[in-house]
Amino acid sequence: MTARASFAPSPRQQAWRRFTNRVMAVVLLACALTVMAPLFLVLYYLVREGATSLDWSFFTQLPKPTGEPGGGMANAIAGTLTLLAMAAAIGVPFGIMGGVYLAEYGSERANDWIRFTADVLNGVPSIVWGMVVYALLVVPFKTFSAYAGGVALGLMMVPLVMRTTEEVLVLVPQGYREAALALGIARWRIIVVIVMRTALKGIVTGVLVALARVAGETAPLLFTALGNNFWSHRLSEPIAALPLQIFSYAISPYDDWHRQAWAGALVLMALILIVNVTVRVLSRERRFT
């Protein structure tokens, strides 16, 4: 008997191995499909229930008074976009600059604390954010407002953008910073023109992901923006938003409103899908490694 023969599995062992391989492959495939199933179910449901309600009037008309059929969510869509713009105005600059500080400046220990704080804030329930902004911006001014809603969403964005910005900046190889320093370029210029430009796609991706996340938040808006059945003419007034509108329609007793809620949910989902696809396209755009 040669040494080679003693290491080779017997035919019975080989058959058992093949069988086990196949079984596990099937099991794993099933698990993967199970994980993906909810997404497809949600999309299917949304499309089935909401697609029929998506007509021109949905996008252009205000909600009709209670009980009347018809109407649309034009103000909610506009409101969501307005709130996102305000959130971005707060979340983007502070988040990015915070990320830059963490990646480029600061001491090891202080930065650890800052990161810890940011991670905790990322986990704070969104309703708590709403309550905080309610206490700070709604109660003193005695009015719900778009400002408050924008601030609440913006504050939620800050730690998120800060962490993602820091992560992509840290990925920029140290070699570029050194090379730029060796040319006698001032530090802040290096960070802006070289480091951030190199990481730009990552930063934009981080901002878009954060926007998509806060776009769907309902709880903080409950105490701050409140919602509005009409157009808001000033930002110091309550403003409509898609999640709020979907919420109030879904718990109402009217079928018509239920139908519109599905449509609103579908629009919201579409918005988020568009953002994610954009993120994907941006990430893939690499002409050279």
Partner 1 sequence: MADRIQPNPLIPPAAALPAAAAASSREPPAEVAFDIADLSLWYGSRQALYEVTIQLPARRVTAIIGPSGCGKSTFLRALNRMHELTPGTRMTGRLRLFGQDLYSPGVDPTHVRRRVGMVFQKSNPFPTMSIAENVLAGLRLNGVRDPALLRERLEQALRMAALWDEVKDVLGRPGVSLSGGQQQRVCIARALAIEPEIVLMDEPCSALDPIATAKIEELIRDLRTRYTVIIVTHNMQQAARVSDRTAFFYLGRLVEVDETRTIFMKPANPQTEAYVSGRFG
Among 9, 93, 125, 173, binds partner 1 (CB under 8 A): 173
Binding of partner 1 by 288 (CB under 8 A): yes
Cα dihedral 11, 14, 16, 22 in deg (nearest 10)? -140
Among 176, 209, 218, 219, binds partner 1 (CB under 8 A): 176
Q: Do residues 71 and 140 make contact, with C-beta atoms less than 8 angstroms apart? A: no
Between 142 and 287, whose beta carbon lies closer to partner 1? 287
Alpha carbon distance 53, 259 (integer Å): 7
Binding of partner 1 by 110 (CB under 8 A): no
Binding of partner 1 by 105 (CB under 8 A): no
Q: Which two tokens stand for residue 270?
A: 């579409």
The count of other CB atoms within 10 Å of the CB of residue 187 is: 12
Query: In the bound complex, what is the minimum distance in angstroms from residue 173's beta carbon to partner 1?
Result: 7
Q: Do residues 170 and 105 make contact, with C-beta atoms less than 8 angstroms apart? A: no
Query: In the bound complex, what is the minimum distance in angstroms from residue 170's beta carbon to partner 1?
Result: 15
In 3D, which of 175, 161, 168 has the Cα closest to residue 201? 168
Query: In the bound complex, what is the minimum distance in angstroms from residue 193's beta carbon to partner 1?
Result: 6
Q: Which two tokens stand for residue 142?
A: 């005695």
Q: Say how many Å lie between the first and final Cα of the chain, rounded.
A: 53
Residues 229-245 as b or e (16 or more Cβ within 10 Å = b): beebeeeebbbbbbbbb
**Token pair 């994907």 in the structure block, residue:** 280
Between 55 and 178, whose beta carbon lies closer to partner 1? 178
**Segment contacting partner 1 (CB under 8 A): 85-93, 119-127, 146-154, 179-187?**
179-187
Query: In the bound complex, what is the minimum distance in angstroms from residue 184's beta carbon to partner 1?
Result: 3
Binding of partner 1 by 175 (CB under 8 A): yes
**Segment contacting partner 1 (CB under 8 A): 7-15, 58-66, 69-77, 174-182?**
174-182
Query: In the bound complex, what is the minimum distance in angstroms from residue 185's beta carbon to partner 1?
Result: 5
Between 23 and 192, whose beta carbon lies closer to partner 1? 192
Among 123, 183, 233, 281, binds partner 1 (CB under 8 A): 183
Alpha carbon distance 65, 133 (integer Å): 30
Q: How far is CA 176 from the centre of its chain?
A: 31
Binding of partner 1 by 38 (CB under 8 A): no
Task: Enumerate residues 195-214 that contact partner 1 by CB under 8 A.
Answer: 197-198, 200
Residues in contact with partner 1 by CB under 8 A are 173, 175-186, 189-190, 193-194, 197-198, 200, 287-288
